[in-house]
Amino acid sequence: MQAPAQTSGSGLRLAIVLGLVALAAIVPILLPSWATLITLVAAKGVVVLGVIILLQAGQVSFGHAMYFAVGAYAVAFWGRHMGPGDLILYLLLGSAAATLFGAVIGLFVVRYREIFFGMLNLAFSMVLWSLLEKLYHYTNGADGIRVVRPTIAGIAFQPETFQYALLYVTLVIAVVASYVAQRYLDSPLGHMLRAIKSNETRLEYLGVSARRVLLIGYVLSAFLCGLGGALVAVAQQIATPEFGYWTKSGEFVFIAILGGSSSALGAFAGSAVFEIVRFYAAAKLANTWQLILGVVLIAIIMFAPNGLVGILNRNRRNAEARR
């Protein structure tokens, strides 16, 4: 995996990021329906950031959709029992619930590595999914719970403006979350997290508890998933058990690898490609979106090992080499 934040490329990277954020903010003004689409892309990107943190430690969770679902359902339950709330409350609620869940489940799963880590996460997520499906009288079963449109910082928006307000809040959250995640990965804790992948024994020799390092990363990833889940629930105005099904977990790992699991930008690049392909294919390409995405993923794995962001970096390096 590449070294984080090469100083030479960081100026360019910043420019790219700013450009993309600006694009994401402006395009929906011309194409209103893209507001929700880009909100979903950014919100899912936040979730994928969480998955990427674990990938840095070499651990693949095939169950992280459970935190996504916890975030979404925390919001939905609040709306159902306490009445409509505020977006800020929702986001705090969703991320706090997921963090708590992550801390409890994390205590168990960080003892394991690789396939065992993945299996245990999957098992927990499937338990949660079955409960959401089956406790019909509390969760409304497979149909999920509607999420009523919240106020934002006390302001009640009209439907037309709400989608823009939500988009801009989500974009800000995405930028902040990326910054925090990148800072974390660049910090000593982040380096120790990576060491779990490269050489866990050495980490232990240094007197560092690998479990504790992984637990911190795990809880942070759960937090990000919950935050993203709360945003998606608000954007879609619903939370369903499907949010926690194993295919959703697979989707998040898929997006991480598609975009490139070495940087925060990859999460959003992957998420954008995934959602846009699905969006258009569901309408225009005779419902072959799974086929198309599957082929794209295989091509990326075979020919562009560092994902979409890797392609970008490679082109830049080539350009620099020619200079």
Partner 1 sequence: MDSTIFILALLDGVSYAALVFLVSVGLSLIFSVLRIVNVAHGSLYAYGAYVAATLSLAVAPISPWLTFPALLVASVAVGVVVGGVMERFLLRPVYGREDVLQLLITFAVFMIMDNLQRLIWGVQPIFASTPLKLLPNVSVLGVSYTSYQVILLPAVALLTVLGLRYFLRHTLAGAVILAVTEDREAATAIGVDARRVFLVTFMIGASLAALGGALASPTTSLVPGMGADMIVLSFAVAATAGLGQIEGAAVTALMIGIARAFVIYLQPEFEVLVPYLIMVLVLLIRPMGLFGVDKVRKI
Partner 2 sequence: MKGALRPALGAAALALALTAAPAFAQDKPAQIKIGITTFLSGPASVFGVPGKAAAEMIAEDINKKGGIGGVPVALTFVDEGAGGEALVSNYRRMVQDEKVDATFAAISSGSCTQLVPIAEDLKVMNFMWDCGAASILEARKHRYNFRTQANATPEMLAVLVYLLKTKPDFKTIAVVNQDYAWGRESWEIFSTALKAMKPDVKVVAELFPKFGAPDFSTEISRLMALKPDVVLTTSWGGDLDTLVRQAGQRGLLQQTTFVLGIGESSMQRLGADLPEGLIVGARGDHWFLHPERKNDAAFKAFNDAFKAKTGAWPIYPVYHMYQAFSALQASYDKAIKANGGKWPTREQVIDAAGGTEFQTWGRPVTLRADDNQGLEAQIVGVTKSAPGYDFKVLDNMMVFDAKPITTPGGQKSIEWLKTLTPDFAKMNVPTFKHGQ
Nearest approach, Cβ of residue 92 and partner 2 (Å): 23
Return d(Cα 118, Cα 140) in angstroms, integer: 29
Q: Is 215 in the site for partner 1 (CB under 8 A)?
A: no
Q: Is 209 in the site for partner 1 (CB under 8 A)?
A: no
Q: Is the Cβ–Cβ distance between 50 and 223 less than 8 Å?
A: yes
User: How crowded is residue 78: how many other Cβ atoms within 10 Å of its Cβ?
Assistant: 21
Judge residue 213's burial from the number of C-beta atoms within 10 Å of its C-beta, 0-12 exposed, 13-18 middle, 19 or more buried.
buried
Q: Which residues does residue 151 pair with via DSSP β-bridges, in sequence order?
A: 86
Pick the stretch among 40-48, 118-126, 161-169, 230-238 that binds partner 1 (CB under 8 A). Answer: 118-126
Q: Map residues 144-183 to x or -, x wherever contact with partner 1 holds by CB under 8 A.
A: ----------------------------------------
In terms of CB distance, is 51 or 264 closer to partner 1? Answer: 51
Residue 219 binds which entry of partner 2, partner 1, none, with Cβ cut-offs from 5 to 8 Å by kind?
A: none
By residue count, the chain amounts to 323
Pick the stretch among 17-25, 27-35, 80-88, 282-290 that binds partner 1 (CB under 8 A). Answer: 282-290
Return d(Cα 66, Cα 92) in angstroms, integer: 17
Q: Report the residue from 45, 50, 106, 118 that binds partner 1 according to the rule CB under 8 A.
A: 118
Q: Is 200 in the site for partner 1 (CB under 8 A)?
A: yes
Q: Is 104 in the site for partner 1 (CB under 8 A)?
A: no
Return d(Cα 163, Cα 39) in angstroms, integer: 8
Longest dimension (CA), the chain: 66
Q: Is 280 in the site for partner 1 (CB under 8 A)?
A: no
Q: Is 192 in the site for partner 1 (CB under 8 A)?
A: no
Q: Is the Cβ–Cβ distance between 65 and 44 less than 8 Å?
A: no
3-state helix, strand, coil in the chain (%, to 5): 80, 0, 15
Cα–Cα nearest to 267, from 113, 36, 119, 64: 64
Residue 125 CA, distance from chain mean position: 16
Q: Which two tokens stand for residue 107?
A: 């205590």
Residue 155 CA, distance from chain mean position: 27
Scanning residues 30 to 89, which ones bind partner 1 (CB under 8 A)?
Answer: 55, 58, 60, 62
In terms of CB distance, is 75 or 120 closer to partner 1? Answer: 120
In terms of CB distance, is 43 or 210 closer to partner 1? Answer: 210
Nearest approach, Cβ of residue 321 and partner 1 (Å): 25
Tell me which residues touch partner 2 (CB under 8 A): 25-26, 29, 31-33, 36-37, 40, 133-134, 136, 140-144, 146, 158-161, 164, 168, 232, 235-238, 240, 242, 275, 278-279, 281-283, 287, 289
Helix (H) / strand (E) containing 145: strand 145-146
Q: Report the residue from 81, 158, 201, 321 that binds partner 1 according to the rule CB under 8 A.
A: 201
User: How crowded is residue 194: how many other Cβ atoms within 10 Å of its Cβ?
Assistant: 18
Positions in the binding site for partner 1 (CB under 8 A): 55, 58, 60, 62, 108, 111-116, 118-120, 122-124, 126-127, 130-131, 133-134, 200-201, 204, 246-247, 250, 253-254, 257, 287-291, 293-295, 297-298, 301-302, 305
